[in-house]
Structure 1
Amino acid sequence: MTMVTTRDGTRLYCKELGHGRPVVLIHGWPLNSDSWDPIALALAEAGFRAIAYDRRGFGRSDQPWHGYDYDTFSDDLADVMAFCGIDTDVALVGFSMGGGEIARYMSRHNGKGVTQAALISAVVPMLVRDDSNPEGVPEATLMEMVQGMREDRAHFFVQFFKLVFGVGFVSKPVSSELLDWAWSMAMQAGLHPTIAAAKAFGFTDFRGDLASITVPTLIVHGTADKTVPIDATGRETARRLHDALLIEYTDEPHGVIATQTAALSTDLITFLTGGLDSVQAGLRQAVVDAVTAQSISSSLV
Structure 2
Amino acid sequence: MKIRTGDISTHVQYLPATRREGAQGEPPVVVFVHGLLTDSLASYYFTLGPAFAAQGIDVIMYDLRGHGRSDRPETGYQVEYFVDDLVALLDALGEKRRVHVVGNSFGGTVAAGAAAWYPDRIATLTLIEAEPPVQRWTEHMQQGLALAKEQLVHDAVIEWIKENRGAQTARLSRVAARILNSTTMGDEVWSGRVIDDDLSAITCPVLAIFGEESGLVEQVPLFESALERCRTVVLPEQGHSVLVEKTKETRDLLLEWIREHDLAAQGADGHELAEALR
Give the TM-score range, shorter chain: 0.7 to 0.9
Q: Which residue of 2 aligns with 1:293?
A: none
Q: Does 1:220 align with 2:209?
A: yes
Q: Residue 12 of structure 1 aligns with which residue?
A: 10
Displacement of 1:160? 11
2:92 paired residue among 58, 83, 88: 83
Aligned equivalents of 2:41, 2:211: Cα separation in 1: 21
Structure 2: how far apart are the matches of 1:208 and 1:7? 27
Which of 37, 45, 53 is equivalent to 2:62?
53
- Alignment partner, residue 108 of structure 2: 99
Q: Does 1:23 align with 2:30?
A: yes
- Range with greater deviation from structure 2 (81-90 or 136-145): 136-145
For residues 225-279 of structure 1, the C-alpha deviation after alignment (integer angstroms, 9 at most, x for no partner) is 25xx321x4543343211111101112010111000000000000000014999x
Other structure's SS at 1:43 match = helix
Q: CA deviation at 1:194?
A: 8.3
Q: What whole-Å deviation, never above 9, does each CA across 1:160-204 have from its counterpart, x for those lacking one?
A: 994xxxxxxxxxxxxx5xx72x55556556423787445555566
Q: Residue 104 of structure 1 aligns to which amino acid in structure 2?
A: G
For residues 281-292 of structure 1, the aligned pairs below 5 Å read none
Worse-matched range after superposition: 244-253 or 120-129: 120-129
Q: Any residues of structure 2 matched to 1:77-156 within 5 Å, and which?
A: 77-108=86-117, 110-126=118-134, 128=136, 137=140, 142-152=145-155, 155=158
Structure 2 Cα separation of the partners of residues 204 and 36 of structure 1: 27
From the superposition, tell whether residues 83 and 193 of structure 1 become closer, same or farther in structure 2 (CA, over 3 Å): farther
Residue aligned with 1:16, SS:
strand
Gaps of 5+ in 1: 131-135, 163-175, 279-301
Structure 1 segments of 4+ aligned residues over 6 angstroms from their partners: none
* Distance in structure 1 (CA, Å) of the matches to 2:134 and 2:160: 23
Q: CA–CA distance in 2 between the matches of 1:101 and 1:129? A: 12
For residues 164 and 31 of structure 2, the distance between their equivalents in structure 1, rounded to whole angstroms, comes to: 24
Work out the CA distance in 2 between the residues paired with 1:161 and 1:127.
33
Structure 2: distance between partners of 1:272 and 1:151: 44
5+ residue gaps, structure 2: 18-26, 265-278
- Partner of 1:66 in structure 2? 75
Q: TM-score by structure 1 length? A: 0.72
Distance 1:125 1:234, change over 3 A: farther
CA distance in 2, matches of 1:107, 1:76: 15
3-state SS in 1 of match to 2:210: strand
Of the structure 1 ranges 146-155 and 18-27, higher mean CA displacement relative to structure 2 is found in 146-155
Name the structure 1 match of 2:276.
Answer: none
Match of 1:294 in 2: none
Residue 241 (str. 1) matches residue 227 (str. 2):
yes
Report the RMSD for the aligned CA atoms in angstroms. Answer: 3.4
Task: Output the amino acid matched with 2:9.
Answer: R
Q: Confirm or deny that 1:192 pairs with 2:192.
A: no
Cα 1:193–1:55, aligned 2, differ >3 Å: closer, same or farther?
Answer: farther
Q: Which residue of 1 aligns with 2:236?
A: 250
In the superposition, the TM-score normalised over structure 2's length comes to: 0.77
Structure 2 counterpart of 1:79, which letter?
A
